[in-house]
């Protein structure tokens, strides 16, 4: 996969030198020579990384950074002139992820770009892990309140979804009816504990190959339920 990098830099020889060095490394590169064009390309072409100069015509780098950060998670690497300490801090406060001080060597820049993309990929994978639970052929999209079995969406009522999510998050652990009532229903007084059993029954109908002989949501007699796989 060739990662795409957008260079926003008005000094064309410098932009071209960076582009050349990055292309040699196998990256796909676009150049924008003013802030407005840079912002437009960043939003429409969705690059994997933006290399952003601060002193730019039409729209300066701070403005580009601020606007881009409000709309996108793309990593931003700021190019700043030596001695512009204030700029560095400001760039980072505006949501830039890192900066490189001019003049820099192409080797240094490429090393930074690589480190950057690696980190962005790891963070994306980590946040996906938090938002998506997988267990065998079952996938739970937490933020979207969606469940798929073998890639097909299964309709779930909100309580069923919350119960399934709780069981899967505690995979292998026995959850008592009281615990489940507290977590899923928010209280255990005034609710018939058999409510849990009824919801488990409904869930089994949806996710067990043989609901009468459950293998995923297993009953632990006298205690509660355990999600197995
Ligand atoms: Ca400039």
pLDDT at 7: 98
C-alpha span between 181 and 171 (Å, rounded): 17
What is the average pLDDT value for the chain, to the nearest integer? 88
Centroid of ligand 1 to alpha carbon of 108 (angstroms) = 19
Q: Would you say residue 190 has pLDDT above 80?
A: no
Centroid of ligand 1 to alpha carbon of 36 (angstroms) = 13
Centroid of ligand 1 to alpha carbon of 168 (angstroms) = 52
pLDDT at 146: 92
pLDDT at 90: 62
Centroid of ligand 1 to alpha carbon of 120 (angstroms) = 26
Centroid of ligand 1 to alpha carbon of 155 (angstroms) = 54
pLDDT at 6: 98
Strand order in the sheet with 224-227: 174-176, 224-227, 217-220
DSSP per-residue letters across the chain: ---EEEEE-S-HHHHHHHHHHHHHTT-EEEEESSHHHHHHHHHHH--SEEEEESS-SSS-HHHHHHHHHHH----EEEEEETT-HHHHHHHHHTT--EEEEES--HHHHHHHHHHHHHHHHHHHHHHHHHHEEEETTEEEETTTTEEEETTEEE---HHHHHHHHHHHHTTTSEEEHHHHIIIIIS-STTS-THHHHHHHHHHHHHH-SSTTS-SSEEEETTTEEEE--
The better pLDDT of the pair 131, 219 is held by 219
pLDDT, tens only, 66-91: 899 888 888 899 888 766 656 556 65
Q: Would you say residue 204 has pLDDT above 90?
A: yes
Tell whether pTM > 0.75.
no
Mean pLDDT of 155-173: 92
Centroid of ligand 1 to alpha carbon of 12 (angstroms) = 9
87 touches 96 (CB < 8 A): no
Centroid of ligand 1 to alpha carbon of 51 (angstroms) = 12
C-alpha span between 137 and 134 (Å, rounded): 8
C-alpha span between 85 and 47 (Å, rounded): 27
Q: Mind listing the domains of the chain with CATH numbers?
A: 4-120 (3.40.50.2300), 130-227 (1.10.10.10)
Centroid of ligand 1 to alpha carbon of 6 (angstroms) = 15
Centroid of ligand 1 to alpha carbon of 52 (angstroms) = 9
Mean pLDDT of 127-152: 86
pLDDT at 84: 63
Q: Which two tokens stand for residue 65?
A: 């950074």
Phi-psi region of 171 (alpha: psi -120 to 50; beta: other; left: phi over 0): beta
Centroid of ligand 1 to alpha carbon of 10 (angstroms) = 5
Mean pLDDT of 189-217: 90
Centroid of ligand 1 to alpha carbon of 13 (angstroms) = 11
If we measure between CA atoms, which residue out of 180, 151, 179 comes closest to residue 163? Answer: 180
Mean pLDDT of 126-149: 85
Centroid of ligand 1 to alpha carbon of 35 (angstroms) = 10
pLDDT, tens only, 2-60: 899 999 999 999 999 999 999 999 999 999 999 999 999 999 999 999 999 988 999 99
Percent of the chain with pLDDT over 90: 55
Centroid of ligand 1 to alpha carbon of 223 (angstroms) = 68
Centroid of ligand 1 to alpha carbon of 112 (angstroms) = 20
C-alpha span between 131 and 123 (Å, rounded): 12
Centroid of ligand 1 to alpha carbon of 56 (angstroms) = 5
pLDDT, tens only, 97-125: 778 888 889 999 999 899 888 887 777 77
Could you give the maximum distance between any two Cα atoms of the chain, in Å?
75
Burial group, residue 125, by CB count within 10 angstroms (0-12, 13-18, 19+)? exposed
Q: How confident is the model at residue 191 (pLDDT cuts 50, 70, 90)?
A: confident
If we measure between CA atoms, which residue out of 2, 88, 83 comes closest to residue 52? Answer: 88
Q: How confident is the model at residue 131 (pLDDT cuts 50, 70, 90)?
A: confident
């Amino acid at each position: 996969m060739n990662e795409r990098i957008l260079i926003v830099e008005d000094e064309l020889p410098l932009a071209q030198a960076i582009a050349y060095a990055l292309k040699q490394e196998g990256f796909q590169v676009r150049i924008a020579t003013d802030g407005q064009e840079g912002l437009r390309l960043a939003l429409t072409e969705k690059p994997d990384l933006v290399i952003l100069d601060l002193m730019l015509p039409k729209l300066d780098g701070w403005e580009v950074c601020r606007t881009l950060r409000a709309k996108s998670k793309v990593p931003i690497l700021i190019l700043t002139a030596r001695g512009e300490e204030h700029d560095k801090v400001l760039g980072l406060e505006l949501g830039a992820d890192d900066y490189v001080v001019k003049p820099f060597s192409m080797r240094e820049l490429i090393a930074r770009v690589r480190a950057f993309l690696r980190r962005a990929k790891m963070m994306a994978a980590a946040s996906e892990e938090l938002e998506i639970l997988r267990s065998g052929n079952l996938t739970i999209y937490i933020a979207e309140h969606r469940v798929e079995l073998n890639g097909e969406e299964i309709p779930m009522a909100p309580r069923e979804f919350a119960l399934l999510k709780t069981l899967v998050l505690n995979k292998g652990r026995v959850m008592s009816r009281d615990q489940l009532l507290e977590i899923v229903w928010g209280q255990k007084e005034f609710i018939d504990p058999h409510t849990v059993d009824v919801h488990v029954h409904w869930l089994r109908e949806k996710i067990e190959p043989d609901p009468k002989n459950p293998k995923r949501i297993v009953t632990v007699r006298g205690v509660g339920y355990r999600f197995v796989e």
